[in-house]
Amino acid sequence: MVNSYKIAIIGGTGKVGRHIAFRALEQGYQVRMLVRNPEKINFRDSKIEIVEGNVRNPKDIQKLLKDCQIVINTFGQPMKEEPIYSSVTENILEVMSDLQIERYIGVSGGSLTIHGDNKSFLYRVGAKFYEIIYSNMMIDKKKEWHILNKYKLIKWTLIRLPFIVDGTELGNIEENLTDMPGRKITNHDVASFIVNQIDSLKYIHKAPFISN
């Protein structure tokens, strides 16, 4: 199967990103990936186009997104650094607007609480714990959510994830818009769900929770 769409992946060398790339290739998409240090990639595929660059540099984002129709962002926060989720996402959305790219799929943690949520007691406690222990990160995550909501012309989806484990695809993905349906999910299942959202309108301008 050949698909004319080209997908730009940010965070493609992470726990989920590389599986997204391979799943997209299986479904016929073209794949371009932003990589800070290509020499450190522990997997290779000639069909994956590599762009060397830094996610914080708008010019590198511009180079990555040129001629792409879909953007998938699974960027992971660098350890021991100030949270930059919101600034990275804003840079991406600004470039997408300039290039008139419509589809954006990002990920966040299940600890993110937004208007309309109806979390169970356990997950309310968990979210409050994160807000206390990782206050700067959670402030930045909420800022990212507000930034997304400013971009009405972009068809964005923000997927909220539980604990991610390495494992084969199970296929039994539970979805919920107001509460986390389970405690964990495999990286292969996350990848499949994300790629399946590319042509789906179900969660446009929404932030579903998913789990196994």
Distance in angstroms (rounded) separating the CA atoms of residues 39 and 92: 24
Distance in angstroms (rounded) separating the CA atoms of residues 47 and 25: 8
* 39: DSSP letter: G
- The first and second tokens of residue 64, run together, are 């990555």
Distance in angstroms (rounded) separating the CA atoms of residues 47 and 195: 17
pLDDT at 105: 98
Cα 58 versus chain centre, distance = 18
Contact 101/69 with Cβ under 8 angstroms? Answer: yes
Confidence of residue 38 (pLDDT cuts 50, 70, 90): confident
- Report, as an integer, the average pLDDT of 153-157: 98
Asked whether the CA dihedral 102, 105, 110, 111 is positive or negative, the reply is negative
Q: Which of 21-25, 41-45, 92-96, 135-139 has the lowest mean pLDDT?
A: 41-45
Q: How far is CA 55 from CA 11, 78, 89, 130, 165, in A?
A: 9, 11, 9, 25, 25
Is residue 107 over pLDDT 60? yes
- Report, as an integer, the average pLDDT of 87-97: 96
Confidence of residue 80 (pLDDT cuts 50, 70, 90): confident
If one compares 14 and 44, the residue with the highest pLDDT of the two is 14
Domains of the chain with bracketed CATH: 6-211 (3.40.50.720)
Confidence of residue 3 (pLDDT cuts 50, 70, 90): low
Is residue 141 over pLDDT 90? yes
Alpha helices in 100-160 (DSSP H): 121-133, 135-150
Integer-rounded Cα Rg, in Å, for the chain is 16
Distance in angstroms (rounded) separating the CA atoms of residues 14 and 7: 16
Closest CA to 193 of 165, 173, 167, 163: 173
Asked whether the CA dihedral 58, 54, 79, 7 is positive or negative, the reply is positive
Distance in angstroms (rounded) separating the CA atoms of residues 21 and 80: 27
pLDDT at 1: 54
72 Cβ partners below 8 Å, 6+ apart? 7, 8, 9, 10, 17, 20, 104, 105, 106, 194
Contact 100/67 with Cβ under 8 angstroms? Answer: no
46 Cβ partners below 8 Å, 6+ apart? none
